[in-house]
Structure 1
Amino acid sequence: MDSLSALSGELAEIDGQITDIFRALSNGFQKLEKIKDSNRQSRQLEELTAKLRECKSLIKAYDREMKENENRSSPDTNRMLNEKKQSMTKELNSYIALKKQYTANLDKNRVDLFDDPGGVDTYNEQNGLLASKMSNQQLVDSGNRMMNETDQAIERSKKVVEDTVNVGAETAAALKSQTEQMRRIVNELDSIHFSIKKASQLVKEIGRQVATDRCIMVLLLVVVLGVMAVVIVKLVDPKNKDIQDIPGLGPPAARRLLWSASNGN
């Protein structure tokens, strides 16, 4: 179809700019499909949103220029230009829906393409302008597509909530199990500490008993050695007056008798 030949210079320039933007949008969404990092996806969506706004402005300029040239163009040319504008509007809407789908996937609360500073009235006016150029079937298809996208976004949100609840339940169960395990460990440590304390006391008592027994044995040994020394001295030198009688050895007469008997032999 030789459409460009029927366009004025201004319309041809705007048509070329819109075609370039559509090509950039197609490449941009293909690139977005390959990006896995959410931050990079967000930046790419911002760039694509700016392209969509620029394309919307160009379509509006295309519509104004077409209406200014409407009286100077043939009915066939006007019909061809109007169909071309509707085709560009439909393609733009398809990219807007794709952008919304990616935005929903990232769970970002972004301002809609047509929510410009003009407010709600401007939004309704612009959307009404685009919708007035679409056929009933196109409007139905667009509505069904948007409802499907909304349903998909809701299902994804429900799945995220369900996964979050499951993870929370598993985490709570794990924490409870770990808490019980820590409590058992603390109880075991207390028992071990008590046992060690009792064992330390018992060792100290045994040490004191051993020390006492050794002292008694040493004293007994000293006494025995002293007694033996005195006995030996008395037997060797009975006339030694420096050594007193030892209790338990009997009277001096018995000791002299014992001494005489030993000398007689």
Structure 2
Amino acid sequence: MKAAILQMTSGIDPQANAATITDAVRAAADSGAAMLFTPEMSGLLDRDRTRAAGSIVAEDDDRVLAAVRDAAANAGIWVHLGSLAVRRDDGRYANRGFVIDASGAVRARYDKIHLFDVDLPTGESWRESGAYAAGSASVVLDTPLGRLGLTICYDLRFPDLFRVLSDAGATILSVPAAFTRPTGSAHWHVLLRARAIESAAFVIAAAQTGEHADGRATYGHSLAIDPWGEVVCDMAAAPGLSVVEIDSTRVAEVRARIPVIQHRRAIPAVSIAP
């Protein structure tokens, strides 16, 4: 089966971002892909929260989501919309990913669990928790490519989540992201390869790239990694669409070679030596 990966430079105009995604949906379907993966915050990337507030709406009112659902149904392709900023009933925001099937129905939702609250040596400071509420549930679902486990960006640094997903049968792990350039150049490739190796699963990481309208810069390098940890696609810095083969037999082959899943054990409590 084929998977398509969209690397994009989302901006502050949801309508323009929706057009980029829906064009990619059609192109992915034309390429023979069964599923398209898009980055974190595909519909809106705006660090100015006052300006962004006018574009962040409830899920049922989100025009980007509606446009992508229509495009998926028209093209007959599944889409993992990496994430959108949506307004919850309590007024807070969620960084929420959606899996949309080939009829346009939403089959799964995932709210980012680990929020990016960091101060980088470059002077960049991020407080995602200042506006966003953390998710509280891990999510897997069956797709044409296999059982898919959902994560978002900063979740990548927490291997316990990936263990839960692979324990639940995930053979593909999705990591849509908007990684900063300093953290991307230092950690992106090694962390994604590690998650693939320890889970013996495919990893697909659709990323934001380039200079954005809100002034930020993202790392790019959308990746597809096989269960042995081999990088089968690296999109470097340019926005665009790539298509990769997902061979489901590769998971069984690697897990037979090194059966990490069946060798897992419950970790006993730590004993602190005197």
Superposition TM-score, scaled by structure 2 size? 0.24
Higher RCO (CA 8 Å, separation ≥ 6 residues):
2
| Structure with greater Cα Rg | 1
Query: When you count helix as a share of all residues, which structure comes out higher?
Result: 1
- Please, what TM-score do these two structures have when normalized by structure 1? 0.24
